[in-house]
Chains A and B, each alone.
Chain A
Amino acid sequence: MPNPGNSQILLENSDTVIVVPVFSEAPVIASVIDELAQYFPNIYCVDDGSADGSGEIAADAGARVIWHPMNFGQGAALQTGIEAGLENPEIKYFVTFDGDGQHSPTDALEMVRTLRAQEFDVVFGSRFLDERTELTAAKRVVLKLAVSYTNALTGLKLTDAHNGLRAFNRNVASWINLSHNGMAHATEIVNQISKGDFRYCERPVHIVYTDYSKAKGQSLWNSVNILFDLILR
């Protein structure tokens, strides 16, 4: 339930949609929605063909749920949520937020505030801008390689390309069209934004690697699949 002390923040954020792609996150999705609902009234969960009732749980927790009849991957789920948000002309800002509880709603709040200042069209979350996020050495290396690749491809200068927490305005939301069904969408988003000549910045975010998110998170092997998807399409 929303905390009454936050009613001002909730009112202010009624022009913002949080897009949460959900694929089998039943153990954590209710608490993710509850925490987001402290600050954001419009939470759009895209249930990407979960088999564990995640969508129903998210709906009970108060999110608007859009159901994919099958699993299409995170990029497709994000695109669906973004299009749902675009259908409402009141919506000015969009935030993408992972459903596994690794992101912090207050980071999202800060990113939307940055957008409200109208200096930037896109705010990317980066786990490498402060010391809050703890990473294993292997993961750090792979993420750094990924970001070097993305930067070389797009000409942007980012420190963290594969971060699910991003915020952008309506112009960017209408511009992006994610077609990759796999995980390569993170690079695809950056690539499309780079072609649109948008003003972008990064903000530090804290990624919490719980045992749950670690167990569910991508295997490093998946970076091979992502690379392949990006080259051959």
Chain B
Amino acid sequence: MRIAQLFLMAIIFVLLWFALHHRSSTEARAFRRIAFLGLAFLIILAVIFPGTLTAIANTFGIGRGADLVIYLVAIGLLFFSVSTYLKFGDMDRRITLLSRHIALLESKGDIGRVDPDELPKP
């Protein structure tokens, strides 16, 4: 196996682990921002100096700079989907808890019933 393959797979596993365990921590936010800036920097670099990127790619055993960008974008996309999926799950849970609290208050007659038609439509 080539260095690039090992390296990319290692990145995927580290990111997945990170997404699952540190989803709302300060480190995770900082990490996401660094990754975002890094990717943006790489893309700019690729546009201005296509040759440099290929040189970097070659040191990892990847033939072309464009391929390196594709791999990194694929990893970024995977990371983004997982963390978004988890984030939506967390949000769902919070909305559910809030709604349950309201529903129980309503059913005891403490407050009036929420009319679903009055809720903002998504």
Contact = CB atoms under 8 A, between A and B. Distances in A.
Interface of A: 46, 49, 64-70, 72, 76, 79-80, 83-84, 87, 179, 181, 232-233
Contact of B103 (A66, A179, A181, A232): A66
12 contacts: A66-B106, A68-B99, A69-B116, A72-B99, A76-B100, A80-B100, A80-B104, A83-B100, A84-B107, A181-B89, A181-B92, A232-B86
A167 B102 CA distance: 26
Given A87-B104, A233-B89, 18 more contacts: A64-B107, A65-B107, A66-B103, A67-B113, A67-B114, A68-B100, A70-B99, A70-B119, A72-B92, A76-B96, A76-B100, A79-B100, A179-B96, A181-B92, A181-B93, A232-B20, A232-B86, A233-B86
B77 to A, nearest CB: 16
Contacts of B86: 232-233
B5 to A, nearest CB: 25
Given A181-B93, A232-B82, A232-B85, A69 B114 contact: yes
Interface string B88-117: 010011011001101110111000011010
Interface of A is mostly: mixed
A68 B93 CA distance: 14
B85 A72 contact: no
Interface of B is mostly: helix
Contacts of B104: 66, 80, 83-84, 87
Contacts of A64: 107
A67 B107 CA distance: 7
Nearest to A181: B92
A76 B85 CA distance: 19
Contacts of B89: 181, 233
Contacts of A76: 96, 100
Contacts of A181: 89, 92-93, 96
Nearest to A76: B96
Given A69-B116, A84-B107, A179 B93 contact: yes
B103 A69 contact: yes
Contacts of A68: 99-100, 103
B99 A69 contact: yes
Contacts of B99: 68-70, 72
A87 B103 CA distance: 13
B107 A69 contact: no
Contacts of B93: 179, 181
A68 B114 CA distance: 9
B107 A49 contact: no
A159 to B, nearest CB: 30
Question: Chain B CB within 10 Å — which of A46, A70, A79 has the most?
Answer: A70
B33 to A, nearest CB: 24
A87 B89 CA distance: 27
A210 B113 CA distance: 34
A182 to B, nearest CB: 9
Contacts of B100: 68, 76, 79-80, 83
Nearest to B20: A232
Contacts of A84: 104, 107
A67 B105 CA distance: 10
B100 to A, nearest CB: 5
